[in-house]
Every structure is written in C-alpha cells, then in structure tokens.
Copies of this chain bind each other. A is one copy, B any other.
Amino acid sequence: MFDLHERLVADTVHIIDWPLCSILLMNDSTYPWVVLVPRRHGVVEIHELDKDDRETLMEEIAEASQRLQNTTKAHKINVAALGNVVPQLHVHVIGRFATDAAWPRPVWGVVPAQPFAPAALMAEVARMAQVFAIPASPTPAS
C-alpha cells in the first residue's frame, strides 16, 4: 500500500530502507541532505503515527543525524518535518555549515537546487549507502 509521493520520486534517490523509514538522498549537491520517509500509507503528521512508530522514527532521526554529522563534520544538523508541498510525512535531515549558501537561514528557497551530475550522483549514493548501512549501532549511544 505504501507508495512514495511523486515529488519525492522526482527529487531524491533511494539509499536504503531502515526498519521504519526509507532513507533518500536529496538530489541537491549544495548540502548533505537526506530525507526519511516512514513507510506508512496515508500518514501526514507525526502525531498520526502510532506510539511505536513514533519511537522508531525518533531513533532513526537521531541515528541518521549522528551518522550524517560524523561523515560530513557538519557544524549543525537541521531536522524538519514540514510537508506544506508534499503532504506525505517525510523528515529532512540536513548537514549545515557556517560557510554554506543559506547559512544561517533554513535551506528552503534560498538558492536553486544544484542536482548532481550523473556520475557524481552515483558516487554520492554509493558513499551514502555505506554511511547509512545496517548494522552499525542500532541506536546512538545514550
């Protein structure tokens, strides 16, 4: 029953499936940017997930944030579930740098997306597939 929204299909590349979320690479080379999409049909808001799924979502957000920060050395991680354009619940996890194009503003609408060239996109997906591979720790250290 779960289908990825067509806008996410157009803007991202699939990296790997975690227990709840599909991890997608945003096709924008301006920022290290992944999108977590819980594979649950028809869910728009975080509070529409059941409690177990919310707990898993939080752990997957934290795990993805930590891995992205470890691999990119980002100064800050931005986490956001907005969904004004794409209602299907999805969570942005973005590595930010004090030197990036939008800093300190949020990334949306500041500079146009810079899609990866085809070879660079393949390389980035391969790299991110290693970063987000299962196992590694199931959750960040507490």
* Contacts from A to B (Cβ < 8 Å): 44-47, 49-52, 54-55, 57-59, 61-63, 65-66, 69, 76-85, 87, 96, 103-106, 108-109, 139-140, 142
Contacts and interface: CB of A to CB of B under 8 A. Distances in A.
16 contacts: A45-B66, A46-B58, A46-B65, A47-B66, A51-B142, A54-B58, A54-B59, A55-B58, A76-B82, A76-B84, A78-B84, A80-B80, A82-B106, A84-B106, A105-B109, A106-B108
A5 B78 CA distance: 18
Oligomeric state, in copies: 2
Contact of A69 (B45, B54, B63, B103): B45
A76 B87 contact: yes
Nearest to A50: B142
Contact of A61 (B46, B50, B65, B108): B46
A70 to B, nearest CB: 10
